[in-house]
Structure 1
């Protein structure tokens, strides 16, 4: 007992929270000791090197998890000359294609040992894009992916980054390495599918004309009808929403000559089909409908929607692979390389023979 009547060891043997909080973080030497390997091996694993046996790598990773080992990102960047962080500039997080592409980029980056920082630019203007780029480069990224930037249509526009850039669906002049879905092939397949079912022509509910993808789909629809010698109806413009598809659908439903419609995305197709049902026109018995994107819900529309499936997972993988190639080559890779990803026509119950052709 001390002079206060308390056990002497009460404060000696039990370190308080402050003392516990000062515990030294685990080092590479600690990990090496627990895993039974050299510190050099731990360094190779921590830096994502490939020259480590899988069994040894797992031992090191397990030791890291047990010890709560955290890599020193700043030191790693100084050693390797990179931060293992990719930046993504976007313009519309709510758009289905953009969100799917972003998710695929994140998965591919993680698999390659990179994290992802995202900035959503406020507008499709040069100032907004440059501000988003500066924000990301200030955060120390190794490269950038820009998703569907319509401003890249503008002659003379450039992005000053100091790091490699890859564009996903949006650089018609191919000023940067790019990964493009073959929008024209998808739209042509959708239009030809309806013509092959005996429809005299195909109406098109297009996306907004500030969209590079929407313009390519509309141009391919037009070209496919012209090549087939079919009449080309007036282009109806929506804004990607089901509401705009419903609004346009009410106009088309009132026209008995309309027997086939290709919508530039699945959400507009959904609104279109509701308008047709409300007007007493059946899908596909009276009007066939084909969409674009193959959103997860499209197989459960009433009826299930024929559509064009985009391979967003492949777009994301190719964006990351192309960007890492640029990073690894220190700017020596081809600056105008374009990788094209093919879409797939998915035929479901919403498309069928033209009513007149069926009766014949």
Structure 2
């Protein structure tokens, strides 16, 4: 750092401010210091800084399937929120979300020195055994309400209620449900809320058909479900399955929404460009990621864990895929 200070013609204190991301350095001086750092080949030693300041400025993320739409969008949001706060991200995917796999992920993150961990795993397998978190490590979970740690999630039940109520208010006698996989907390809460909403309106709940979040499963299950002429309204647990369902309806020559109405969940950007444009439940992945990072940083800075549950509201986006029954 002394070499950088001499090269840039500034004090060591100014170099320290730039290295630590302080804002009280004018832009021209900051650039001069950064140029000098490159000239002399200086890079901040994160381990030394951690020993001095007690923080690594790094957040670990343990997550299951990265390729699903919801997980990838949430990870994007966590990363953006962390970077905005001056933190880096260390991603630790687990192939099978068992307690043993998660414990292994914690061990690997502990070796890489993180200040806290966000867990983005919603599978029920984690209920089968207690996951032992390293002492003193701040943790926030997304979606898993049974973890015993601070939790941030979309209000899944509210979203399913909005979708089901919308279809009933259009005049449909009941609503069929294309659910997500049974090991998913989100799928479980959406299905439970769909059933509860039908009960409140004194309607019979038809048998559930189960997908795996993919458009392919929506198509396969849609071909079976919508061959029944009694089906006039379907709530799909996510937009990707709704897309496959729409294809099945087109191939079965059932008009949407004249004969069958479809509602999805997520409001992915492409939903507005399905044919017809999809009525869906909007959830804010960006807000979930931001609030999870805020909760984790609050725990890191205070050294105290407050087990709170934050549920973010959803909204119904009404497009052209829903209408009164024939």
Shared fold per TM-score greater than 0.5: yes
Aligned positions of 1:73-112 closer than 5 A: 73-112=46-85
* Partner in structure 2 of residue 29 of structure 1: 5
Name which of 182, 206, 214 aligns with 1:241.
214
* Partner in structure 1 of residue 323 of structure 2: 352
Once the two structures are superposed, what CA deviation does each residue of 1:135-187 show, in whole Å capped at 9, x if it has no partner? 111111111001023247515522322311110111x2250011111000111
Q: For this pair of structures, how many residues does the alignment match?
A: 321
User: Where in structure 2 are there 5+ consecutive unaligned residues?
Assistant: none
More divergent stretch after superposition (259-268 vs 58-67)? 58-67
Name which of 150, 157, 162 aligns with 2:130.
157
* Partner in structure 1 of residue 101 of structure 2: 128
Q: 1:42 to 1:65 in 2, by over 3 A?
A: closer
Once the two structures are superposed, what CA deviation does each residue of 1:230-289 show, in whole Å capped at 9, x if it has no partner? 121011111111111111111222111111000001111011111111111011111000
Q: Does 1:264 align with 2:237?
A: yes
* Partner in structure 2 of residue 61 of structure 1: 30
Q: State how far apart, in whole Å, the 1-side matches of 2:263 and 2:6 are.
A: 60
Contact 1:45 1:57 in 2 (8 A): no
Q: State how far apart, in whole Å, the 2-side matches of 1:31 and 1:150 are.
A: 54
Once the two structures are superposed, what CA deviation does each residue of 1:86-144 show, in whole Å capped at 9, x if it has no partner? 10001101110000010111011101111101011120211111111111111111110
* Partner in structure 1 of residue 121 of structure 2: 148
Contact 1:261 1:289 in 2 (8 A): yes
Name which of 258, 282, 293 aligns with 1:309.
282
Q: 1:291 to 1:131 in 2, by over 3 A?
A: same
User: Where in structure 1 are there 5+ consecutive unaligned residues?
Assistant: 1-24, 356-360
Bigger Rg, which one: 1
Superposition RMSD in Å: 1.8
* Partner in structure 1 of residue 140 of structure 2: 166
Aligned positions of 1:42-61 closer than 5 A: 42-49=15-22, 52-53=23-24, 56-61=25-30
* Partner in structure 1 of residue 264 of structure 2: 291
More divergent stretch after superposition (177-186 vs 149-158)? 149-158
TM-score by length of 1: 0.85
* Partner in structure 2 of residue 40 of structure 1: 13
